[in-house]
Structure 1
Amino acid sequence: MTSPRARLAGLCWLLPPCRAKNALLTRLGHRVHPSARLGICVMLDVGEVVVGADTIIGHGNVFRGLRAVRIGVEAILGQFNWFSRAPTLTLPDDDLAGSLVMDDHTVITSRHYVDCSGGLWMGRFATIAGVRSTVLSHTIDLGLGRQGIRPVRLLEKVFVGSNTTMMPGTTAASGAVFAAGSVTALDGDYAAGTLHGGVPAKPIKPIDGAYFHRTRTWATE
């Protein structure tokens, strides 16, 4: 059952961006840096919320039933994304399960769907770009006839192109790139510094460029 404090925090998320909103959420038990910009979002039955300095969260995002939302400094979360977990699953005593964790300088653009049942972890400077990508972190074992969770981990400076599907258990090493429309394999393990594409996604060629050497969330020149 949702506590009165959690319901009040949910109402605070419906306020426009301002320092008073950040202060209210902090007084209600979350940790929101005064310089963060929090858009008008729906936050239902979410436990811990941590938002770092100079992070931007756009309008229209929905967070539902999550154990935790932890976002580092100078991260960007666009508009109209959906983050939830399967309510029927029992979560293990695992810090990532049921959680969205975005390290410093990470980016999720707009209109993506993220299943956080097993958890999504994004390392520094990792990006889910474009629109309509799907991250899945729970699956059904057809042999055993039961559901299970598998976290998705995107290491530093991973780039996910538009309309990509990340299957449960995906692990992408630093600098891995996924072409638009890719579908990763269940429990897939993807190499560093490599462009992957196709269904299921397979290595295409080594890749490098300015994106992988940034020191800011977005290059300005």
Structure 2
Amino acid sequence: MILKLFTVLLPWPLRRRALQRWFGYEIHPTARIGLAWIFPAKLVMAEGARIGHLNVAVNLDLVDMGAKASMARGNWITGFPTHTSSKHFAHQTDRRSALIIGECAAVTKYHHIDCTSTITIGRFSTVAGYRSQFLTHSINVVDNRQDSAPIIIGEYTFVGTNVVMLGGAQLPARSVLGAKSMLNKAYTDEWMLYGGVPAKPLQPIPADAKYFTRTDGFVY
């Protein structure tokens, strides 16, 4: 804990070297972390990846960010590592506690991201707005035990503000999840607006919508 605290307070050029040497992280020279507590078991940040101020990422097997992937500020990212003697999730031998953010994907501000099971955010996707919850674990009341399932957010998707996504949910590529929706199942139809509680397909998205074919992750 003391070593981690010391590392966080270092200027970024020294901190990047310390994170690589002392914790074995893989951080590209152009990647950057702000004033944040980011200590998964393994961290991979590709060219131009960014983590802003006041983010917390703990108790995770892996955080993997592709080229130019970004995380704004104030996000709370937790998990439940697989290398533990706890009885929780012992029946899920293939579970991995990971956050994988693809190339040019963006996570904005103040979201709660529970990565007890893997959360994958596809390339060029946006987790927009504020205070969304991504919850991969819960109590299985039938079997009376903790259970978890991955969440998949496809490439070129747009996730609106203040949504809830539960374990097992999948938002297909090139689709939108409307604000304040709750997605609790896996859908496969692309080019679709999903919304409601629980979320369901609402209407097709025009095939010429420029967001879904852009080559630059940043939207002006």
The alignment's TM-score, normalised by the length of structure 2, stands at 0.88
Tell me: CA distance 1:10–1:75, structure 2 relative to 1, closer, same or farther (3 Å). farther
| Conservation of the 8 A alpha-carbon contact between 1:10 and 1:43 | no
Quick one: which of 28, 32, 51 aligns to 2:27? 32
After superposition, the C-alpha distances for 1:113-150 in whole angstroms (9 at most, x for unaligned) are 00000111111111110000000101222111111110
| Conservation of the 8 A alpha-carbon contact between 1:81 and 1:112 | yes
Tell me: CA distance 1:86–1:30, structure 2 relative to 1, closer, same or farther (3 Å). closer
Gaps of 5+ in 1: none
After superposition, the C-alpha distances for 1:81-131 in whole angstroms (9 at most, x for unaligned) are 00002475336454x721111111110000000000011111111111000
Instruction: Tell me the residue number matched to 1:104.
Output: 103
One-letter code aligned to 2:187:
D
One-letter code aligned to 1:212:
F
Q: Provide the rounded CA distance (Å) in 2 between the counterparts of 1:69 and 1:21.
A: 17
Instruction: Tell me the residue number matched to 2:192.
Output: 194
* SS of match in other structure, 2:67: coil
One-letter code aligned to 1:182:
S
After superposition, the C-alpha distances for 1:8-59 in whole angstroms (9 at most, x for unaligned) are 356423435x333222212221001111121011135x20011111111100
Tell me: CA distance 1:190–1:180, structure 2 relative to 1, closer, same or farther (3 Å). farther
Instruction: Tell me the residue number matched to 1:12.
Output: 7
Deviation beyond 6 Å, 4+ runs, structure 1? none
Percent pairwise identity: 33
Instruction: Tell me the residue number matched to 1:210.
Output: 210
RMSD: 1.9
Number of equivalences: 211
The alignment's TM-score, normalised by the length of structure 1, stands at 0.88
Q: What does residue range 53-202 of structure 1 map to in structure 2 within 5 Å? A: 53-86=47-80, 89-90=88-89, 92-94=92-94, 97-185=96-184, 187-202=185-200
| Conservation of the 8 A alpha-carbon contact between 1:179 and 1:197 | yes
